[in-house]
């Protein structure tokens, strides 16, 4: 990767990795609204939305974050989290402070459990939601509910598989109702479960009930995760009854239709079926392009329409995947200094959707074969031109497959990561001047050999 890669690009690429490494709710809650702020040779500064988020990331995910940044930058070993420019979010936390900080965390979360305090992702609004045949029913129902909560469809049940915009709609609805003065609470079913469990443990059931029964709009996301949790389901059942009887609005999102929730309390299921159930399905091609266009507006450089169309047609299913592909295409283009092109998109989509099972040894022997040398020579120390070149290509392919530089080094006679990063940069430089090398790399990557 070039030294010039910006903090923004590095962090976007690191987020791309983290997105596939951590559970989705974790990513959504803690990582999504963070930004690469600045960098030097070995440190990346990342801006996070609050000290609370900083603390959470620092205590629970810090090594994962540092690893991801190191893997994509090939160089940076330290990450600092800030809330505002230049202000460290918190003092660096030592491992033996973990317990103390966990206690602090539960304090803070207790404070944010005030019903009026649900905050919404400012990017998830009705305005930024692209409407198409796959989601218009869900969109209009959510909009209608936000206009007249409690009086239209109660509950509103939105279902569809992951990454299709359910959480986006819930946030849009919640934020609009809150802006209009309603007491709104948004929780994932995991949060609901945790709060319920904690209330039992700490004998704070009254506070739990107050918190939930004093709201006018309750949004519960990913309700399928309540499956099998009888006690929590029953708490939700009672909350539901109370809110519903007062004409307070309930909105639920799940990855499947209500009938398919198992094991699930039948009484609760029948309540969830009282109102309106709407499905979001996979967007058609035109909607995908429109979503990508909207996303591309946030990019610093214009993205050719042909690239957006290529990504839209390349077989991703969810909207999240589409956006992830576009982010990665932009990041790779910045790293390599090549303009955003269909070739880059092809490279990214391939590593994303195909050939996940390929082992490093497969890649090594394929490259060796391609250049007419033996895998042993490729992994050895010989420095003649062909062998060195083939080795650089093999390293690049492994890197594009997501392997870290250190790890790649281990496959090539324990070379260190600086050597590996240098080799990869060399071959990227060469390939930017040499279309036939670009083709070879692509065809090796495609599994065409």
Cβ proximity to ligand ADP, 141 vs 363, nearer residue:
141
* 183: its two tokens: 């007491």
Residues ≥6 apart with Cβ < 8 Å to 200: 231
State the binding partner of 124 from ligand ADP, Mg ion, none, CB within 5 to 8 A by kind.
ligand ADP
135 binds ligand ADP (CB under 6 A): yes
Q: Please report how close the Cβ of residue 161 comes to ligand ADP at its closest, in angstroms.
A: 7
Which stretch in 148-156, 159-167, 265-273, 324-332 sits in contact with Mg ion by CB under 5 A?
Answer: 159-167
Collapse the DSSP code of 324 into the 3-class scheme (helix H, G, I; strand E, B; otherwise coil) and give the result: helix
Q: Please report how close the Cβ of residue 358 comes to ligand ADP at its closest, in angstroms.
A: 28
State the binding partner of 125 from ligand ADP, Mg ion, none, CB within 5 to 8 A by kind.
none
Bond into 191 cis (ω within 30): no
Cβ proximity to Mg ion, 166 vs 417, nearer residue:
166
Position closest to ligand ADP via CB: 165
Which stretch in 43-51, 128-136, 338-346, 440-448 sits in contact with ligand ADP by CB under 6 A?
Answer: 128-136
> Which residue from 22, 44, 164, 243 is in contact with ligand ADP, where contact means CB under 6 A?
164
Q: Please report how close the Cβ of residue 32 comes to Mg ion at its closest, in angstroms.
A: 11
Cβ atoms of residues 433 and 337 within 8 Å = no
124 binds ligand ADP (CB under 6 A): yes
> Which residue from 165, 174, 275, 409 is in contact with ligand ADP, where contact means CB under 6 A?
165
Neighbouring C-beta atoms of residue 73, cutoff 10 Å:
25
Strand residue runs (E) in 29-121: 35-39, 43-47, 78-84, 87-88
**CA-to-CA dists, residue 159 to 11, 91, 184, 256, 448, angstroms:** 32, 42, 21, 5, 39
> Which residue from 235, 319, 367, 390 is in contact with ligand ADP, where contact means CB under 6 A?
319
Collapse the DSSP code of 372 into the 3-class scheme (helix H, G, I; strand E, B; otherwise coil) and give the result: coil
Cβ proximity to ligand ADP, 106 vs 260, nearer residue:
260
Cβ atoms of residues 310 and 345 within 8 Å = yes
Collapse the DSSP code of 163 into the 3-class scheme (helix H, G, I; strand E, B; otherwise coil) and give the result: coil
Which stretch in 164-172, 254-262, 383-391, 411-419 sits in contact with Mg ion by CB under 5 A?
Answer: 164-172
Cβ proximity to ligand ADP, 16 vs 165, nearer residue:
165
Which stretch in 53-61, 156-164, 196-204, 265-273 sits in contact with ligand ADP by CB under 6 A?
Answer: 156-164
191 binds Mg ion (CB under 5 A): no
The closest of 398, 391, 415, 417 to 406, measured between CA atoms, is: 417
User: What residues does 278 pair with on adjacent strands?
Assistant: 158
Parallel, antiparallel, or unpaired for β 276-279 and 156-159?
parallel
Handedness of CA 410, 416, 422, 423 (dihedral sign): negative
Ramachandran assignment for 278, one of left (phi > 0), alpha (psi -120 to 50 degrees), beta (any other): beta
Q: Which of residues 320-379 bind ligand ADP (CB under 6 A)?
A: 320, 323
Cβ atoms of residues 54 and 90 within 8 Å = yes
> Which residue from 162, 200, 227, 299 is in contact with ligand ADP, where contact means CB under 6 A?
162
User: What residues does 159 pair with on adjacent strands?
Assistant: 254, 279
> Which residue from 17, 70, 159, 168 is in contact with ligand ADP, where contact means CB under 6 A?
168
Indicate the length of the chain as a whole number: 449
State the binding partner of 320 from ligand ADP, Mg ion, none, CB within 5 to 8 A by kind.
ligand ADP
- 18 φ/ψ angles, rounded to the nearest 5 degrees: -60, -35
Which stretch in 62-70, 71-79, 166-174, 371-379 sits in contact with ligand ADP by CB under 6 A?
Answer: 166-174
Which stretch in 2-10, 68-76, 316-324, 385-393 sits in contact with ligand ADP by CB under 6 A?
Answer: 316-324
Q: Which of residues 199-258 bind ligand ADP (CB under 6 A)?
A: none
State the binding partner of 319 from Mg ion, ligand ADP, none, CB within 5 to 8 A by kind.
ligand ADP
Q: Please report how close the Cβ of residue 156 comes to ligand ADP at its closest, in angstroms.
A: 14
* 91: its two tokens: 């003092």
Residues ≥6 apart with Cβ < 8 Å to 78: 42, 43, 44, 66
> Which residue from 166, 271, 288, 411 is in contact with ligand ADP, where contact means CB under 6 A?
166
Interior/surface letters 209-230, b for 16+ CB within 10 angstroms, e for the rest: eebbbebbbbbbbbbbbbeebe
State the binding partner of 323 from ligand ADP, Mg ion, none, CB within 5 to 8 A by kind.
ligand ADP
Collapse the DSSP code of 198 into the 3-class scheme (helix H, G, I; strand E, B; otherwise coil) and give the result: helix
167 binds Mg ion (CB under 5 A): yes
State the binding partner of 224 from Mg ion, ligand ADP, none, CB within 5 to 8 A by kind.
none
Which residues sit at the interface with Mg ion, rule CB under 5 A?
A: 166-167
Which residues sit at the interface with ligand ADP, rule CB under 6 A?
A: 124, 128-130, 135, 160, 162-168, 291, 294, 319-320, 323
């Amino acid at each position: 990767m070039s030294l010039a890669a910006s903090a923004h690009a590095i962090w976007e690429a690191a987020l791309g990795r983290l997105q596939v490494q951590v559970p989705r709710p974790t990513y959504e809650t803690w990582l999504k609204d963070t930004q690469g702020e600045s960098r030097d040779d070995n440190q990346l500064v990342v801006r996070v939305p609050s000290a609370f988020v900083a603390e959470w990331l620092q205590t629970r995910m810090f090594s994962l974050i540092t690893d991801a940044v190191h893997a994509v930058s090939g160089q940076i070993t330290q990450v600092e989290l800030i809330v505002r420019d230049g202000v460290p979010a918190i003092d660096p936390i030592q491992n033996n402070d973990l317990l103390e900080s966990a206690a602090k965390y539960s304090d803070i979360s207790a404070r944010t459990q005030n019903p009026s305090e649900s905050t919404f992702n400012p990017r998830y609004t009705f305005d930024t939601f692209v409407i198409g045949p796959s989601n218009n029913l869900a969109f209009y129902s959510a909009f209608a509910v936000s206009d007249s909560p409690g009086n239209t469809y109660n509950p509103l049940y939105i279902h569809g598989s992951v990454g299709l915009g359910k959480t986006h709609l819930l946030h849009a609805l919640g934020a609009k109702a809150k802006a209009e003065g309603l007491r709104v609470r948004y929780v994932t079913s995991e949060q609901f479960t945790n709060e319920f469990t904690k209330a039992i443990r700490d004998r704070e059931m009254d506070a739990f009930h107050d918190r939930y029964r004093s709201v006018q709009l309750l949004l519960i996301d990913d309700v399928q995760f309540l499956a099998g949790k009888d006690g929590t389901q029953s708490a939700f059942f009672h909350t539901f009854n109370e809110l519903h009887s007062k004409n307070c609005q309930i909105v639920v999102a799940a990855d499947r239709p209500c009938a398919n929730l198992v094991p699930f309390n039948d009484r609760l299921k029948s309540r969830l079926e009282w109102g309106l159930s709407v499905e979001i399905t996979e967007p058609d091609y035109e909607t995908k392009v429109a979503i990508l266009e909207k996303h591309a507006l946030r990019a610093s450089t214009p993205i050719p329409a042909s690239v957006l169309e290529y990504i839209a047609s390349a077989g991703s299913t969810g909207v999240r995947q589409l956006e992830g592909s576009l982010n990665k295409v932009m990041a790779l283009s910045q790293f390599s200094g090549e303009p955003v092109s269909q070739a880059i998109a092809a490279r990214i989509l391939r590593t994303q959707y195909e050939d996940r099972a390929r082992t490093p040894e497969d890649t090594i022997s394929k490259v060796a074969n391609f250049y007419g040398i033996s895998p042993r020579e490729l992994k050895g120390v010989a420095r003649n031109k062909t062998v060195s070149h083939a080795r650089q290509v093999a390293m690049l392919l492994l890197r594009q497959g997501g392997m870290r530089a250190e790890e790649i080094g281990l496959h090539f006679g324990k070379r260190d990561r600086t050597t590996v990063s240098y080799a990869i940069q060399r071959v990227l430089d060469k390939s930017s001047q040499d279309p036939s090398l670009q083709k070879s790399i692509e065809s090796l990557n495609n599994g065409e050999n």
